[in-house]
Amino acid sequence: MFLQGKNHQRVIRIGVWVAVIGLLLGVLSSIIMATAADAHTALKSSDPKDGATLTTPPARVVLTFSEPVSTSFATVTVTGPDGPITEGKAGVEGDVVTQALASGIPDGTYAVSFRVVSEDGHPVSDRLSFTVAAGTSATSTGTATTSGGPASSPPATAVSPTGAAESASDQVADSGRTTRVGLAVAVAALAVAAGTAVIALTRRRGAE
């Protein structure tokens, strides 16, 4: 009877720890899958920046992504007051996509639409915008010079919301990863505590 009781306790302990290890492996696989989902390609920066006001028309649009993108499916369209101003196809070099623009574009607001495909096949698309105000700046400077007054101060550097948006996005992503890791640790601790408690209870009953 004593040996049978010991064998019974051993089987219970093995079963409990198998269940605990299985639970831990499940939590670990969930963390790995969630981390992989967070790692999709995303736009890191753009030149011109989203929302920027320029005093000189840009010659190109440069998009930098978090990972290399496919050279076959990158498209960038820039449209202004008079229609599209892109010239040729977008060029891709690693994680940088460059789109040439027509020269002498007029003042106005321009919309940038892009679509790329990451190397793992994940499509990424979005819209940006920038404003060209070269004529306004030149008129203001000419007026100040003619009047004989002091030279006008250089225009303030445009503050783009892209940086703030990217920072907020990074903070949200980091917060989500921290939350998942914290939950995983909590579940693992509860699983180990439950397994230990069950084994301790089994031993006490066996002793009684």
| Per-residue pLDDT tens over the stretch 77-130 | 999 999 999 999 999 999 999 999 999 999 999 999 999 999 888 999 999 999
pLDDT beyond 80 at 16: no
Using CB atoms within 10 Å of the CB of residue 76, give its burial: 0 to 12 exposed, 13 to 18 middle, 19+ buried: buried
104 contacts 120 by C-beta, under 8 angstroms: no
> How does residue 153 score in pLDDT terms, banded at 50, 70 and 90?
very low
Residue 75 neighbours by CB under 8 Å, 6+ apart: 90, 114, 115, 116
Q: CATH number for 43-172: choose from 1.10.1370.30, 2.60.40.1220, 3.30.70.100, 1.10.3720.10.
A: 2.60.40.1220
Could you tell me the two tokens for 81? 């007051």
Sign of the CA dihedral 178, 179, 183, 184?
Answer: negative
Helix (H, G, I), strand (E, B) or coil at 144: helix
Phi-psi region of 117 (alpha: psi -120 to 50; beta: other; left: phi over 0): beta
Q: List C-alpha distances in Å: 73 to 35, 40, 56, 91.
A: 26, 16, 30, 10
Query: Which range, of 21-25, 55-59, 79-83, averages the lowest pLDDT?
Result: 21-25
Cβ neighbour number for residue 163 with a 10 Å cutoff: 12
pTM here is: 0.52
Q: Which residue has the higher pLDDT, 148 or 84?
A: 84
State both tokens at 52: 């920027």
